[in-house]
Structure formats: structure tokens, C-alpha cells
Amino acid sequence: MREADSVLSFDPGTVSGILPSETFSHCKLSSASAMFARLALCTRLPSRIRQSNVCPVSIRSHSQVKFPRPHGKSFVHRSELKQAKRIVVKLGSAVVTRDECGLALGRLASIVEQVAMLQNQGREMMIVTSGAVAFGKQRLRHEILLSQSVRQALHSGQNQLKEMSVPVLEARACAAAGQSGLMALYEAMFTQYSTCTAQILVTNLDFHDEQKRRNLNSTLHELLRMNIVPIINTNDAVVPPPVPNSDLQGVNVISIKDNDSLAARLAVEMKADLLIALSDVEGLYDSPPGTDDAKLIDIFYPGDQQSITFGTKSRVGSGGMEAKVKAALWALQGGTSVVIANGTHPKVTGHVITDIVEGKKVGTFFSEVKPAGPTVEQQTEMARHAGRALASLDPEQRGEIICCLAELLTEKKDEILSANRRDMEFANSSGRLSQPLINRLSLSTAKLNSLAIGLRQLAVSSRDSVGRVLRRTRVANNLELEQITVPIGVLLVIFESRPDCLPQVAALAIASGNALLLKGGKEASNTNKILHQLTQEALSIHGVADAIQLVSTREEVEDLCRLDKLIDLIIPRGSSQLVRNIQRAAKGIPVLGHSEGICHVYIDNDASIDKAIDVVRDSKCDYPAACNAMETLLIHRDLLRTPIFDQVIDMLRTENVKIHAGPRFASYLTFSPSEVKSLRTEYGDLECCIEVVDSMQDAVDHIHKYGSSHTDVIITENEETAEQFLQQVDSACVFWNASSRFADGYRFGLGAEVGISTARIHARGPVGLEGLLTTKWVLRGEGHTAADFSEQGSMKYLHENIPVPQGSFN
């Protein structure tokens, strides 16, 4: 059901706003059957289904439901919410209605769908709903308008009616008129998912009177046992006005003055695992939403309410955010976890409840246990603040930090390798990692020495980075413009099974003056921890240790990708699946990287046999787990059954490379290797595909069709053919008679790299220091105004380019 047709509204005596105007144009509101027809039509159900009170009831066997968790303590972390079995969903007035008297049918339909889906998973769902007053106000208004129009017509005898006014309607009367219609609507919607519902109206007395409380408890348990969704509301037709300041009166008493307090009391009474309170704001803010510097609170802890400034209550309903927080803390104290989230946003309403249950970072999560360290949001703020101080250091000072880190890598190699061995032992014993990932996880003395060399190389080049003048223009007399390099801001680098990535990326962030957030895989947690400690030790020599943060909390990658107000660029380092997941999850944050490394080597008919063997061997066998390793070998058709072809095949077999035949190659063989399943495969191991092509142009076409724009190689002695290949192949790196393994920042002389980008904007290929810089424009004048350069002005533009000496800095 679309949001566009989600407002329930009536013209006097007709049904409109839901169906085309010609449908039921004379359907009278006074007819009971018309009421059922209207509700059925609202939910796109045949009226015969709607009028039948039959719904499937199945007795739930608790032994079949697998959510093993004793009630008594609330969940500590969002990821544990997946274990929630009994869930209360509270729908505020702002969620159920669109204005003071109009139900948001589209919104309700999506919420019902989510609740029914969770119910069918074996969870026990309960709904606390508002909306009866709004629904009844709508009905009564139209009945009054209809009555007035009839009286006017009878008295005036004319068709022309005067303007009619609607008196102020008493809330209890509206509730009485609207409760049955609201419940009928819920029944109709849940019937679509073969889910039965039951209505329960309560007041304070039902909780304070011991016998009534036991009866209510028994009724709810019996309904849940029969797989029925109870829909609960305060009996607003008879409930007395709330007593001021009587919300909380100890652990066992909470005044039921609104549906927030009702939901909290019900959740504790029924020992619910989770209470989801949906409102019209994203969650709890540290100050009223919409004010300057208002920040959404991800996790709220008891005691934090002193630092919160509450705003006014919502446009509808009787509660406000303060009431919601009080109710949430009361429920939390009773052992029920609570999340307050937005149930009105059209982009998230369709999955907000399921997202919360899946542990995603939605709304504000209430937790009793405060973690020892800072939150990821606090880490990001710390990194940004220290990053600005890092960027303001002299280039020589940033170079000193990088050199210090290089020294620490060699001085502390025993500690680093010891931590890495613990990670390797756990990885091998768990059996969760593939061999290519285990290879990437491993560190050695040689790797650490290589890292240190690359870092020292980077330290030298870092002196020509931040603040470099790229362009200088004399716009007019005494008005000069400069374009200078500046850091991007806060980088988030997510990597798996590659602890050597940490010092490389850290050094590049230091050299470019960027703040850095690192999220490594848990398989390398010990190694990452020691490497991050050494990085902060190096940063501390100039007082900027907080500029690089290691995220050690249980943050999901998808949640990190949503921090668009805190993070400026995401750089994934890992498997193609990881990169694709991050590219999908990133909301409003650019992602720099490549999803696959399907690299090709093409052996031309004019190739040297020695060069072909050496280049193919190195491209595939030097480090097969790397993203720049050869995955597909293309061979010119004329080379089949020649010495060069035989020797290349013999070399691959000697190196224990498993060969998969492409379709054309397989057609030439009587007994062929296993035919490849896909020509777009990144093996990441001692495996490769061999395919036959008719020409260099055929090879280029194959690369464009099946490649990933990473690195592609031609082996030939024909310079003209080579140059055509280099010009035509649209990849980040294109080589002639050289191994694909050269596609690396260190081998290019960049000192280090954050990864290889196959994008076509900002940075492409191995991304080193230059790829982590952006620019800003600096204009220096003496009181110039744009009006000075108008037709009536006294000044003229010059736009003269001023030569920029090499190494010139702002």
C-alpha cells in the first residue's frame, strides 16, 4: 500500500480519499455493511473476508520457539536484540495518524506486515496503539457536518449551503466512537497475513487492583499461547484525567496516563524482552530536534537524563519525549530493553521494526550497562578534533611521526609477531577462514621490514602534501586566488584479515593530515591492537594520539556506513563481498575501492617465450591471494600447440596452479580441464582460467566484458600492438611486458597505499598520498566587491595565471 493513498478521510456521506471518486459515491455512513465494505476496501480485501470473523488460531508450542533467554535482565548491546522473543510495539498518535483526524493507512499497513512477519517467526508480538480518538473525531465530525447539511437543506429549501462549523469534540466521546473502527481496521490488515488479533482496553485500575491485574495477565498469556496478537489501548472513553507528576512512584507503580506509560507497564508486567516505541522523531536527542547542534543519541544510559533538554510534546497525542524517556527507564529497570525510533519516515517505516530486532543502529537504544570506552561517535569526534591539529603540523613533523612508526615496527617486531601468532592459531583452529584469508592474515619479519621501508619512503614524500599550492591566479589588481591541497577530513577504513594494512593506512592518513577510523576484522584483533598502540605512540610525540582510532566496540559495518554526518570517505580493504556490502550499505558517504580484482594477462602472437613464462608465473604465483594477481590468462589462437603455449602450461602445472578452461579453449581440447563456471571469477588462490582469443582487439573486448577495470597486461614484442592495447584497455592499471603484481603503491613509489581504486573520479589505481587530499580555494583581496566588476563598476577582471614555483606552500 503506497503512502499516497494512506490517509483515511470521508466526504459527508461518501467514501473518498481511498478509492477513485466513482467508487461507492453514494455509500451511506449510517449503514453497518457500508462500514465493513469501507474497511475492506481500505485494506484491499474482499468484503466477504472482512465481514467474516474467522481467523486462523493455532496453539503455540513453546518447545518449537528457539529464543532461549531468561527474563530479568535487559540486553546490553543491540546485537542481542535478535534474541528477543516477546516484543511490545507501541504506536504513538503521530505514527497512527497524519493529522488530528486522519489515519495513516499506508504506514499502518507496513507496520502490520512487520509485526505479522515477526509473529510468524515464532516471536510473541503485542501492540499498544493510539488512534482511537483521531478515528472517532473523524467519524463524529462528518456525522455532525452531515446532520448540519440536512437541517440547512430542510430549513432553507435550497441546495446552496452556508458555511458550517464543527463544535469542539470531547476526547472521551471521540474515543468511544473510534475504538471499534480502529480495531476493525487492524483485524482487516492482519487477516491478510493469516494472523488473528484481539482487543484489550485497560485503565489504571486494571493494574492497581490485584485481582484485575492477574486476570489481565492471564488473558494476555492465553492469547499469546494461541498465537494471537493482542492490541491494547487505554480505555479513553472512561479513563479519568491524569494526575500531574504521578508518572513514576517506585519500581512497581507507574501511572497509566498515556500509551507510553501503558506500554512500559505492560512490557514489565508481561516480562517482555523488548519494547519498541515508535514516534515521529528519529529517537532521543541531547536537545530538542531542529535546534542547532542537536545530536541523536545512539545509546542512552540511566543517569544521562540530567544532560538532556526536552522540547515540547508532539503535535498529537498526550505524551512527549520526556514521558517516553521516563517510561523507557521504568521498563528498563524492570528488565525490558527499549528502543525509541521514528515510525513515520516514509523511507524507513517499511522496515524499522525488523531493523531494530535485527540489531541495526536505528533510533535510541536504552541500556543499563555503560561501556568502559568511548562510543564510535565519540571516537569519530575525537579523531576529527585531533585530525585538525595533525593537519596544522609542519610537514617535517608529520614526517617525524611516520619515521617513528617505521622504527617501532622493527623495534617491536617480536611483540607484533607474537600477537599475530595468536590470531593465526585461532584462525586455523576455528576453521572459519579460507586459505587466501589466512595467507593475508599472516605477518613475517620480511613483511614488517618491507612495511618500515615503505613508511620511510612515505615520510619523505609527505613533506610535499598538505598546503601545496596547485594554482595561483591574479583575478584583478590586488585580488589573488590560490588553489591549495587540504585533507579530506575523517576517513573510515574497513579491512579484514590484513593487519599489515593498518600501519600503511595510518601512515598515509598522517602524511595527508586526515583523521582516521579503523575497523578491522576480529580474526586479526590481537595484531591490530598492538599495531594501533604503536601508531598512537608515534602520534603522541607531537600530541595528536587521538587522530587515529581503532573501533573495538561491537559496531556492525552497516551501522558505521550510516554515519554520514561524521565520516567523509569510506575505504574498504578486503574481499570483493566485503567491498560490495559496504558500497550497498554506505548512505551518503563516498566509497573508494574496487569490488573485484579480475586481472588479465594476454599473450600476443608476437610474445617472447621467456617474458611470457616469467610474467605469467609472477602474476599468478608470487602472491595469489592479492587483488593484483592474474585470474585469467588470454592466449592468441595462433599460439595453440606451439612451444610457447606448451611451456606456459607446463610452468603452471609445475607451480600447482589449477587450470579452468574457458568455453573457446575447451572446444580446442579433446580432454580439457574443468570448464570455467564464470569468466568473471576472482580465485584468490593457485587457480586461473585460460581462454583463447583471435586478436589483440578480441582480448581488449574480452577484458572490457569480463574484467573489473583493475589491472591488465599484454605480453608482446610488437610495439604498435602494445601501444594500441595500452590506449584501448579501460582499466586503472595497464602494463606491457610486466607482471600485474606491480599494481601496488609501494612498487609505484607512493610509499604505501590505502587500496586500489577502479573508480573513474577522484582517484584511480593505487591510491597513495595524493588520493587522500582534496583542494580548497583561497582568495585574498582588499575590500573588493562583486559590484566593483559590474557594467557600472570601476574594476575589470584580469584572470592572469601566476607561475607557481615547485614546492610552493600556502
Give the model's pLDDT for residue 127.
96
Cα angle for residues 335, 340, 343 (degrees, 5° grid):
135
Q: Are strands 548-550 and 515-520 parallel, antiparallel or unpaired?
A: parallel
First to last CA, the chain: 58
The string of pLDDT tens digits covering residues 335-366 is 999 999 999 987 777 899 999 999 988 999 99
- Band (pLDDT 50/70/90 cuts) for residue 142 is confident
Helix, strand, coil fractions of the chain, as percent rounded to 5: 40, 20, 40
- Band (pLDDT 50/70/90 cuts) for residue 249 is very low
- Band (pLDDT 50/70/90 cuts) for residue 607 is very high
Percentage of residues of the chain with pLDDT beyond 70: 83
Give the model's pLDDT for residue 503.
95
The string of pLDDT tens digits covering residues 197-214 is 999 998 888 888 899 999
Cell numbers for 635, please give them: 592466449
**CB neighbours of residue 375 within 10 Å:** 16
Domains of the chain: residue spans and CATH? 78-149+169-239+255-366 (3.40.1160.10), 376-585 (3.40.605.10), 599-753 (3.40.309.10)
More reliable by pLDDT, 669 or 270: 270
Give the model's pLDDT for residue 5.
38
The string of pLDDT tens digits covering residues 728-778 is 999 999 999 999 999 998 888 887 788 888 888 778 888 888 889 999 999
Beta bridge partners of 570: 492, 591
Give the model's pLDDT for residue 319.
53
Give the model's pLDDT for residue 697.
97
**Is residue 133's pLDDT more than 90?**
no
**Is residue 23's pLDDT more than 90?**
no
Give the model's pLDDT for residue 101.
53
| Closest CA relative to residue 276, chosen from 260, 288, 299 | 260
Average confidence score pLDDT of the chain: 84
Q: Whose grid coordinates read 613508511?
A: 455
Spatial distance between the Cα atoms of 469 and 775, rounded to a whole number of angstroms: 9
Q: Is the dihedral of CA 256, 261, 263, 264 positive or negative?
A: negative
Q: Where are the beta strands (DSSP E) in 153-285?
A: 196-202, 228-234, 274-279
**Is residue 604's pLDDT more than 80?**
yes
H/E stretch holding 733 reads: strand 733-736
| DSSP codes, 338-399 | EEEEES--TTTTTTHHHHHHTT---SEEE-S---SS--HHHHHHHHHHHHHHHHTS-HHHHH
**CB neighbours of residue 209 within 10 Å:** 13
Residue 239 DSSP class: P
Cell numbers for 455, please give them: 613508511
